Amino acid sequence: MIGHLNRVRAAIVALTMAVPLLPSPSAAQGSGEGFLFKQPVFQVGIRGGYNLSAAGGGVLDHARDQLTLGKRDFDGSAWGLELAARVRERMDVSLDVRFTKSQRDSEMRDWVDLDDLPIEQTTSFTRVPISLNAKFYLADRGRGISEFVWIPEKWAPFVGAGGGFTWYEFGQKGDFVDVSTLDILYFALKSSGWAPSGHVFAGVDISMSPRLFWTLEGRYGFGGADTSAAFAFDQIDVSGLQATIGLSARF
């Protein structure tokens, strides 16, 4: 629990440090002033934030039952890259890639070794969703003054949905008890593969200049896959809630 609180605190501190860089409501009134010589067609942006794992499925349930792991031990920082193309005034189609990884040390809950010492291991869980998205803006993102001038709005809220595939890798290495013999054995187990996945999201773009803008976004992703024989082909859950802040540019 203390480790989780430290990770959450670090994420909050990082986001808090970014807040002063965002335009305040009063400053935002002027942040979109200026113009481009044409309506932008493409956007590219980077994202950073935190991912709260749903931590369901047989594999993660078993890990939490047998080891000193909790749901929040599968959380981690989230990073991403997005490329978007405008298809209508209020609609974009985008391709994005996200990356989340957790790595935690643990002990077996109900067993110790012959010297009454903990039986220790390390668990890692990596998720890389790649998705195609439809993003719908709730209002126009800017206005054309003439054939050659386009002025962005200060605030542009949006909603959307997407789908694709998530590459995952789940691994455990360390000492474990063989319950059939009560021997303590070292194992290095790993399963990786692709899981179909989807998500819904909502957020807002906040213009800093005609070219640059911040994006605040929350999304919930869902998906799962069967693991390899190393984990008895049990289901692993790649779902989770993610909050990010990003910097994007219009072209």
Share of the chain above pLDDT 90, in %: 77
- Using the structure block, give the residue that is written with the tokens 């009560």: 182
- Using the structure block, give the residue that is written with the tokens 């439809």: 134
**Residue 163: pLDDT above 90?**
yes
Query: What pTM was computed for the model?
Result: 0.84
What sign results for the dihedral spanned by CA atoms 216, 31, 85, 97? negative
Contact 47, 219 (CB under 8 A): no
pLDDT at 26: 37
Burial 139-148 (b: 16+ CB within 10 A, else e): eebbeeeeee
Amino acid in the structure at residue 225? A
* Spatial distance between the Cα atoms of 224 and 133, rounded to a whole number of angstroms: 19
Residues 9-35 pLDDT 10s: 555 544 445 444 444 433 333 334 576
For the domain spanning 2-23+31-250, the CATH number is 2.40.160.20
> What is the phi/psi pair of residue 40, to 5°?
-65, 150
167: Cβ contacts below 8 Å, ≥ 6 apart: 127, 128, 129, 130, 192, 193, 194, 195
Contact 71, 104 (CB under 8 A): no
**Residue 142: pLDDT above 50?**
yes
- Number of other residues whose CB lies within 10 A of the CB of residue 24: 10
Residues 48-103 pLDDT 10s: 999 999 999 999 999 999 999 999 999 999 999 999 999 999 999 999 999 999 99
**Residue 166: pLDDT above 70?**
yes
* pLDDT confidence band for 149 (50 / 70 / 90): confident
Structure tokens at 20: 């002063």
Domain spans of the chain, in order of start: 2-23+31-250
